Amino acid sequence: MVCETDFDCPGTQICYIDVPWNDDRESFCNCSSWFGWTGFPECTELGLQTKLLLVALSFEVLVAGMFTLLSILDGYHVFTNSKMKLKDTTRLSILFSTLAILCHLCWKSVDILILLAPEKNTFQLPNDENEKYHDYIPVERGAAVMTMIFSVITAAHVSVLWIEVAYSTKHLVVGQMVKFKKYKQGLYLMEVAFAVMLSVIGALGQFYIAVFISYPVVLLLCVLYTVGYRQLRSTLQQSLSMHSQDRNQFEYSHLRSVIKSVRRTALVVIGSLYMVIIAGGIYGTLSIIGWQEFSPVGGLSIVFWANEAFAIFVLIGVCAVRLFAHESLHAFKTRSLHRTGSKDDNMSFTLSSTLPRKVKGLKKEERGLSHSEKTHDMDL
């Protein structure tokens, strides 16, 4: 059947025009190769791509579900424990990481529902008169956009905190602290701008454009994590050396675990960000050329799997950050109990609590800060 748009095709079939994997006809109707459905003409059977995708999505949902539960338990403990005093930055970091994973869970759960209901692939978006979409696509896109927004905010918060903690232990003059505060304000402004742009693009359905717009933000996060990791590693190594000299075995062991955790988190997040760039680049470029050209019916779609790899590496990065926060919380509680036992009634959850007083307890005059600008404990 000759066609010009998807709505020229009956049922759930879509229109293919001048695709290289079929030289017989210039245009024809067939099952949607994006989700991998087969069984022409009804197109309600699960093909190879559909089955493989169900396995990948089930794994993502399982991982996201486990980390969502972990986040809820940690959040409940932190927000209901009156003995554990948290600053706003820490609370926001816990909140955003939890929301990012929860949105990812919703995103991939909807994808599973889409795959299992091919008969609903008849929806028409108001701004697209040529392509058919699944009835659940608006919900799926909304969850995807919120996942990206909260994931970027989560990554940005932790990277800045690392830099902030490292800098708080050094001799900073007032001018340097003011510059750093302006730098943080600029980063938060960028997060708001990114959220607005991504929301608008998501509403228009141009996700491949969103990938390229996200590149500057992702590259900035790579730089932030690299700088933050190096600065914090230097500070923790100095602290480790002091505890080694003092022969405090518990503090020495504690700091070694913190350094290892920071290093693992930085490497996983930076690696995930670079993979997001690669997968996003493949998805965006091939989408501009035309995703149907690379998606034969009954086969595997390179474009679709690049898109799915993009989502998987986003999840890996966010989970690495969330695991770091969980381990830090657990380590702090263990350290507090070791120091004060059950009598501890003023727990303050901060990353700089891992630093010895010789490092974090610099006098106000030594740091060149006024009383109002003096930093005490920097939160995780």
Per-residue pLDDT at 347: 39
Q: What tokens does 68 get?
A: 């969502």
Cα separations in angstroms, 111 against 35, 139, 315, 335: 10, 10, 15, 43
Least confident of 56-70, 83-97, 201-215, 348-362: 348-362
| 345 vs 336: CA distance, rounded Å | 10
Taking residue 177's Cβ as centre, other Cβ atoms within 10 Å add up to 19
Mean pLDDT, range 12-30, rounded to an integer: 89
More confident residue, 96 or 330: 96
Per-residue pLDDT at 300: 92
Closest listed residue to residue 5, CA positions, set 133, 122, 131 = 131
Mean pLDDT, range 308-327, rounded to an integer: 90
Per-residue pLDDT at 263: 82
Closest listed residue to residue 379, CA positions, set 328, 343, 333, 334 = 328
| 377 vs 52: CA distance, rounded Å | 48
Per-residue pLDDT at 332: 63
Q: Is 103 exposed, middle or buried (0-12, 13-18, 19+ CB in 10 A)?
A: buried
Closest listed residue to residue 190, CA positions, set 236, 152, 143 = 152
Q: Is the pLDDT of residue 348 over 70?
A: no
- As a whole number, the mean pLDDT across the chain is 78
Per-residue pLDDT at 363: 43
Mean pLDDT, range 163-173, rounded to an integer: 58
Partners of 133 in beta bridges: 123
Per-residue pLDDT at 182: 72
Mean pLDDT, range 5-26, rounded to an integer: 90
**In the chain, what is the straight-line distance between the N-terminal and C-terminal CA atoms, in Å?**
61
Per-residue pLDDT at 205: 66
| 215 vs 95: CA distance, rounded Å | 25
| 341 vs 326: CA distance, rounded Å | 21
| 330 vs 379: CA distance, rounded Å | 15
Max mean pLDDT range (210-214, 247-251, 376-380): 210-214
Closest listed residue to residue 223, CA positions, set 265, 270, 166, 170 = 270
Per-residue pLDDT at 76: 78
Report residue 322's pLDDT band, with 50, 70 and 90 as the boundaries. Answer: confident
| 356 vs 246: CA distance, rounded Å | 11
Per-residue pLDDT at 291: 92
Report residue 31's pLDDT band, with 50, 70 and 90 as the boundaries. Answer: very high
Per-residue pLDDT at 337: 59
Q: Would you say 283 and 310 are in contact if contact means Cβ atoms under 8 Å apart?
A: yes
Closest listed residue to residue 360, CA positions, set 245, 175, 259, 236 = 236
pTM of the model: 0.81
Mean pLDDT, range 104-130, rounded to an integer: 92
| 96 vs 157: CA distance, rounded Å | 9
Per-residue pLDDT at 326: 81
* Buried-exposed string 36-66: b where 16+ CB fall within 10 A, e elsewhere: bbbeeeebeebbebbeebbebbeebbebbbe
Mean pLDDT, range 270-295, rounded to an integer: 90
Max mean pLDDT range (41-55, 80-94, 152-166): 41-55
Q: CB-based contacts of 23: which residues, under 8 Å, 6+ apart? A: none
Report residue 278's pLDDT band, with 50, 70 and 90 as the boundaries. Answer: very high
Report residue 349's pLDDT band, with 50, 70 and 90 as the boundaries. Answer: very low
Cα separations in angstroms, 356 against 241, 242, 255, 324: 10, 8, 10, 21
Q: What tokens does 332 get?
A: 């702090």
Per-residue pLDDT at 379: 40
Q: Is the pLDDT of residue 357 over 60?
A: no
Q: Would you say 268 and 316 are in contact if contact means Cβ atoms under 8 Å apart?
A: yes
Residue 69 backbone phi and psi in degrees, to 5: -60, -45
Q: What tokens does 335 get?
A: 């350290």
Mean pLDDT, range 312-322, rounded to an integer: 92
Q: CB-based contacts of 95: which residues, under 8 Å, 6+ apart? A: 75
| 205 vs 330: CA distance, rounded Å | 42
Partners of 379 in beta bridges: 350
The percent of residues in the chain predicted with pLDDT above 70, rounded, is 72
E strands present in the chain = 14-17, 27-30, 37-38, 45-46, 84-85, 347-348
Cα separations in angstroms, 202 against 98, 120, 137, 142, 149: 22, 21, 11, 7, 11
